[in-house]
Structure 1
Amino acid sequence: MATVTSPPTPQTTPPAEAASPALTGRARLILVVLCAAQFMVALDFSVLNVALPALGADLGLGNSGLQWAVTAFALPSGGFLLLSGRIGDLYGRKKLFIVGLALFGAASLLATFAWNPASFLAGRALQGMGAAAIVPTGMSLLTTTFPEGPQRDRALGISGTLLSLGFTIGMVLGGVMTDTLGWRSTMGLLALFSAIVLPLAPSLLPESRTPERPRLDVPGAVTVTGGLLSLIYALSTAAERGFGGADVQVTLVAGVALLVAFVVVESRSASPLVSLPMLKRRTVAFGNLGGIVTFAMMSTVIFALTLYLQETLGLSSFATGLVFGAQGVMSVFAGSLAPKVIGRFGARRTLVLSLAGQGLLTGALLGIGEGSGAILATVAVSLASMCHLGAIISYGVTVTSGVPDEEQGLATGLVTTTQQVGLTIGIPLLGVLATTGDSLYGGVRTVLVLDTAIVLATAVLVAFGLRKRA
């Protein structure tokens, strides 16, 4: 594939290739490398969750320390996404992708051999920094390598499938590995993934950057990174302790204030980190709205169902893993189906239909009972996940369609920031309701009602926002 180092042309591949979803052998290898890296990061989101009790006992981490085992990764991985995407645009996406892989692998080794809480948390934070570099640059390399149309739709479909599958497999694999090999094996697996992918990237991936070299928007970078870091910290901490703590309230206010300041800075900057005209694009604004809601609400459903299956129905960790394993199988099927649906109905309609399906199937989960409901939960969450994956792929296609190659890093940075923020805010905003009511069962039902209403309302908003004007 051609290196994007000159002003973009309407077509980066011959017309016949752009019109066909068939991929060349080299294109398949590029896709394998990019998707393997995305899968590795998705695995990191969940593989450690089941291992937290064993990790805490081994390293002497209390409950607050266990929360930081998750938060230490979420803070940098979400907070630095936009900045990393822009740095990749300006100085080379391939270079930053490789740096991110190397940092992620080294950090995973540090976490694997951690000798005390500080060394482990440092490894997790550096993993987050590596992920912040890998995710937006990997997505940018994908969208600039594969031309808009069937090839890009197919590539995004495979990437979205592995993203969802990585999160699901991590939940199942984390328990198995912790029971058989110990919690350190979960971090060692990530180091092994990085060691396999890293040597392939330099020779396979094309370099890609913007043709000009504008100055980096430092005030914009400081305000948006500080705002996202503050917001993610506040919401992650609130998931454990509620919103009553002074640190939560201060960082929540600071996060909102910094993001407002970011908008003001960008409106006056000669070389903004985020182009406000881009944010005014209906496809970008409403596409990302659909993305943040589908991620936030599905993560909340999984959290609530995990509690329900184990605490209310008394299922074992292994049996609960099988429920989400079935969800993963259906996600793979949805990943192969979604590009065809997008090709037939368009990304915008597919996004609306997928959100509506996710909302309706989440509502179907209200049929679960206090004494039974495992089968209904398995079927409904698996079908809801198919719609969820359709929404993931179609919102990515919607947001990046029509965006010039020199702004793809920014567009995909927004896509991945939406993904990270969605995964972060869902459980603090709604998931805590499952554990704060009079009964767990009643709390789970409250979560499902609100989740259903939010997703269906978003489907209506996106439908109106993305409707074609006469």
Structure 2
Amino acid sequence: MSNCLSSLQSVTTSSSLISLPVVGADLGIREDQLQWILSAYALSSGCLLIPFGRLADLYGRRMIFIVGCVLQGAFALGCGFANDLVTIGVLRGFQGLGAAATIPASLGILAHAFPPGNARSLAFATFSAGQPLGGGVGFALGGLLTEFAPATWRSMFFVVAGLSVLCIAGALLLVERDRPSTEQDKRVDWLGAILVTAGLTLVVFVLSDGEVAPRQWSTPYIIALLVVGVVLTTAFFVWQWYLERPSVRETYSRWTPPPLMKISLWSRGNGRFAAMQCIVFFLMCAFQSWLLWTVLYYETYQNYTPVLSMIRMLPMIPAGILCNIFIGLLVGKIPGVVLIAIGCLCTGIAGLLFALINPAASYWAFGFPAAVLTVVGADFVFAGGSLFVAKLALPHEQSLAGGLFQTMAQLGIAFGCCY
């Protein structure tokens, strides 16, 4: 139950998305800066999933899950009282720390509780069902509260804080305490954590701010930050490669802890692990771009109210739930590569429908099929990819592998917000 409630906290993203025009008008935020309300959350959660995944594997997934829920709820409450872009952007970034903790911990809890087989497939499908369900609920509540609640868009952040309390209660009552980690060396590669977090943060910041900087991409600080970000990210991979070398692992040193992310993990399954990471990155980039521009199209071009925009996104809820029921029942009978290929095709078609949309045409001609297809695509790839990654990871790597998968997904979302 706590894992499903954790997925339901995705309402914070979808509710923030549908209320963006209202937030911009209320706080005086320019349209080209509104994406920071979304990307700040995706950026912090995506860049910190790997360190939190490692901590969950070492010190207990249940404990890290609860810590993440506390962070999620506390900073969501703070967002409800924000009065300018800087404040809400910073608080959204800290709120992303909660997602960075709860997501890999949840995946680790599921992978540990269910051995490979139909039961695990159904468990992961149930977890994935919380994503579209939470997104759909976020669209519905976000639209209704933004238009009718006295506190408008702020009300949704208060709802997320309440959901976080439910998650904490569910974890305390229903999730068993973790057994001690079987790893002999329980040190954490803090240098690697700093390198990957700083590097990815700078790269995504540059991609988000490059077009709106004073001199756009030729602005000196944009160029400098991009170079530093690439150097730090490259240094992270080199450092991980060094820590994984047999000669280093055979000789104990206080300066060489176990790698935060084994480079060899990317070669698992004859390189299919790495291919899956690339697929989920680009798919979530396309999915988030579709969501962002669809809402802006409805509310700024068609001049629909948040409620009318929300109604046009509602088909995503039943489509997402039916998809995950289908995956849970038939994933053992259908090759995962087929599910993933169908998912990518559906998301691509959804994007084409809005690229070629006729504004004068009926909603049922373009908007409805796009809303159904985009969530089918994301769910097929997300659920199938999660199962695939869990299958390739070792027992003590489940949260880390799940965190890496989610990192690529969250970075895809951040990149999607940029464009």
Cα deviation for residue 198 of structure 1 reads 0.9
Aligned CA-pair RMSD: 2.6
CA distance 1:118–1:47, change in 2 (3 Å):
same
- Does 2:201 align with 1:229? yes
- Does 2:164 align with 1:210? no
Alpha-carbon separation, structure 1, partners of 2:84 and 2:30: 13
- Does 2:222 align with 1:253? no
- Does 2:344 align with 1:355? yes
Alpha-carbon separation, structure 2, partners of 1:71 and 1:312: 22
Alpha-carbon separation, structure 2, partners of 1:289 and 1:118: 32
2:326 aligned counterpart, secondary structure:
helix
Alpha-carbon separation, structure 2, partners of 1:180 and 1:228: 39
Map of 1:323-334 to 2, 5 A cutoff? Answer: 323-334=312-323
Which deviates more from structure 2 when the two are superposed, residues 49-58 or residues 287-296? 49-58
CA contact (8 A) 1:97 1:134 kept: yes
For residue 380 of structure 2, what is the aligned residue in structure 1?
Answer: 390
For residue 273 of structure 1, what is the aligned residue in structure 2?
Answer: 260
CA contact (8 A) 1:313 1:371 kept: no
CA distance 1:384–1:104, change in 2 (3 Å):
closer
Cα deviation for residue 216 of structure 1 reads 1.2
For residue 368 of structure 1, what is the aligned residue in structure 2?
Answer: 357
Q: In structure 2, which of residues 159, 172, 185 is the aligned counterpart of residue 189 of structure 1?
A: 159
For residue 336 of structure 1, what is the aligned residue in structure 2?
Answer: 325
Cα deviation for residue 385 of structure 1 reads 2.2
- Does 2:146 align with 1:172? no
CA contact (8 A) 1:350 1:390 kept: yes
Cα deviation for residue 356 of structure 1 reads 2.9
Cα deviation for residue 189 of structure 1 reads 0.3
TM value normalised by structure 1: 0.77
Which deviates more from structure 2 when the two are superposed, residues 223-232 or residues 239-248? 239-248
Cα deviation for residue 57 of structure 1 reads 5.8
- Does 2:127 align with 1:159? yes
Alpha-carbon separation, structure 1, partners of 2:34 and 2:338: 41
Alpha-carbon separation, structure 2, partners of 1:171 and 1:255: 34
Cα deviation for residue 276 of structure 1 reads 1.1
For residue 464 of structure 1, what is the aligned residue in structure 2?
Answer: none
Which deviates more from structure 2 when the two are superposed, residues 257-266 or residues 59-68? 59-68
Alpha-carbon separation, structure 1, partners of 2:201 and 2:353: 36
Q: Which amino acid aligns with 2:226?
A: L
- Does 2:69 align with 1:101? yes
Q: Which amino acid aligns with 1:261?
A: A
CA distance 1:425–1:117, change in 2 (3 Å):
closer
For residue 79 of structure 1, what is the aligned residue in structure 2?
Answer: 47
Q: In structure 2, which of residues 394, 401, 406 is the aligned counterpart of residue 416 of structure 1?
A: 406
Which deviates more from structure 2 when the two are superposed, residues 241-250 or residues 370-379? 241-250
CA distance 1:298–1:360, change in 2 (3 Å):
same
TM value normalised by structure 2: 0.86
2:186 aligned counterpart, secondary structure:
coil
Q: In structure 2, which of residues 182, 191, 213 is the aligned counterpart of residue 219 of structure 1?
A: 191
Q: Can you give the 5+ residue segments of structure 2 that lack an aligned partner in the other structure?
A: 244-248, 250-257
For residue 138 of structure 1, what is the aligned residue in structure 2?
Answer: 106
Name the % identity. Answer: 26
List per-residue Cα deviations over 1:62-103 (Å, max 9, x = no partner): 668755433442332222111111111112111111111122
List per-residue Cα deviations over 1:28-71 (Å, max 9, x = no partner): xxxx111101211x112121234345545655666687554334
CA contact (8 A) 1:73 1:125 kept: yes
CA distance 1:77–1:387, change in 2 (3 Å):
closer
Cα deviation for residue 333 of structure 1 reads 1.1
For residue 36 of structure 1, what is the aligned residue in structure 2?
Answer: 5
CA contact (8 A) 1:400 1:412 kept: yes
Which deviates more from structure 2 when the two are superposed, residues 387-396 or residues 303-312? 303-312
Alpha-carbon separation, structure 2, partners of 1:390 and 1:193: 26
Q: Which amino acid aligns with 1:191?
A: A
Which deviates more from structure 2 when the two are superposed, residues 94-103 or residues 49-58? 49-58
Q: In structure 1, which of residues 275, 285, 294 is the aligned counterpart of residue 283 of structure 2?
A: 294
Q: Which amino acid aligns with 1:338?
A: I
Alpha-carbon separation, structure 1, partners of 2:26 and 2:353: 41
Structure with the bigger RCO (C-alpha within 8 Å, sep 6+) is 2
Alpha-carbon separation, structure 2, partners of 1:367 and 1:75: 30
Alpha-carbon separation, structure 1, partners of 2:30 and 2:300: 22
Q: Can you give the 5+ residue segments of structure 1 that lack an aligned partner in the other structure?
A: 1-31, 432-470
Alpha-carbon separation, structure 1, partners of 2:330 and 2:226: 40
For residue 124 of structure 1, what is the aligned residue in structure 2?
Answer: 92
Which deviates more from structure 2 when the two are superposed, residues 349-358 or residues 192-201? 349-358
Q: Which amino acid aligns with 1:149?
A: G
CA contact (8 A) 2:19 2:306 kept: no
Map of 1:447-462 to 2, 5 A cutoff? Answer: none
2:342 aligned counterpart, secondary structure:
helix
